[in-house]
Structure 1
Amino acid sequence: MMDTANGATDLTGKLLIAMPGMGDPRFEHSVVYMCAHSDEGAMGLIINKPSGDVTMAALLDQLSITAEPGLDLKHVHFGGPVEMGRGFVLHSPDYMSGLTTLQVDPRFSMTGTLDVLETIARGEGPAHWLAMLGYAGWGPGQLEAELTQNGWLVCDATPDLVFETPDLGKWEAALNSMGIPAHLLSAEGGSA
């Protein structure tokens, strides 16, 4: 992990775990995979909030992409409140777009172009992936301020936690990876 120019820790490739009482209902119990973090701001994707009504098959149909069977069971995720009409795929590094794949670290890549959806639709895409609409974004210093105010915990991202853990269990699993039982967290601050 590198430091940014202002001395803050670079969170690229890490998970942010929303603390109870954060105050923003869009991030309640969210787990955010950090795709980029620098002095210029940060960008991440919420990995544990599937859309209740948008399946991959429906999204592909809307984009006039013919899908292989089975994608009607896979939901598109709410990636965050910024540019909700824009799509992203967080995936394993076994796929590389000729256009715009960002290799975040050796275990995770992110592609925001239609070619990744076309390969997934053909059953030829990455072995592991999550499709998102929108992303979570922070301006310069904004995420650092939220961290200082105890809005987020930071933990290591693993492919198993990101891609294999059921969405509803990711928040608690991320906390458990840090040795923190979820029931011990409180939305109320206190003093001893």
Structure 2
Amino acid sequence: MFSDRLFNGLERTDPEPGMLLVAAPGMASPYFARSVVILIEHDVYGSFGVTLSERSETAVHEVMPDWVELIAPPQAIYVGGPVEQQAVVGLGVTLPEVTIAEHPELTRLANRLVHINLNAEPQKLRSLVAGMRLFAGYCSWSPGQLQEEIERGDWFVTPALPSDVTTPGRVDLWGEVMRRQAQPLPLFSTFPANLLDS
């Protein structure tokens, strides 16, 4: 497929926590079509992350009301992936003056972008976090699996921006991420999820 050749022809960036996995135009998996996944863990034991743009119909106040004040609008649970959808993952954007290393409930992913320990008391995070999202479920890859998919041309790897996590649900995040890449990727920013529907 031409999209595989496109991604294979681009300069490679190694995956690591805090990087985005951007689905190739025409991704064969219907679940991951036009998806953007942020990596939270990536090591010899495998990889783990969440899809950023799939909003559920469940409001945060219905299931985790103590966290509502910290949630960026829309205050809904997002679907992080197909694995263990009863598990919840928290990601947030810190306030500019926060030193992440001083707070054990925060794990740095990128500039101001953190993985939040949901065992922490929400009120303790009010002075640390500018906004956050809660994700039900996650995406995971066994050792070596993600690298194989990247080499096959399924994913493009690029740095995340803090705003990627708190982008409103109505925004086409996949298109936005593609538009900020080097040419020729912006040309594919309106590529449909399913060619049969276009």
Mean Cα deviation higher: 34-43 or 135-144: 34-43
Contact 2:23 2:33 in 1 (8 A): yes
Task: Extract unaligned runs of 5+ from structure 2.
Answer: 1-12
2:4 maps to none
Q: Is the 1:119–1:125 contact (alpha carbons within 8 Å) kept by the matching residues of 2? A: no
2:62 alignment partner in structure 1: 58
Q: C-alpha displacement at 1:136, in angstroms?
A: 0.9
Matched, 1:176 2:182: no
- Matched with 1:74 is 75
Write the deviation string for residues 14-70 of structure 1: whole angstroms up to 9, x where unpaired: 11111233232222211111112122211111111111x111111225xxx4855x9
Count of residue pairs the alignment pairs up: 175
**Structure 1 gaps, min length 5:** 1-7
The CA deviation at 1:184 is 5.9
Cα deviation, residue 115, structure 1: 2.7
**Aligned 1:25-40 pairs, distance under 5 A:** 25-40=30-45
Return the TM-score normalized by structure 1: 0.74
Percent identity, aligned pairs only, is 22
> Which residue identity is paired with 1:55?
A
What is the RMSD of the two structures over their aligned residues, measured on CA atoms?
3.3
d(CA) in 2 for partners of 1:82, 1:105: 24
How many angstroms does 1:167 deviate by?
4.9
Equivalence map 1:73-92=2 (5 Å): 73-92=74-93
Structure 1 match to 2:157: 154
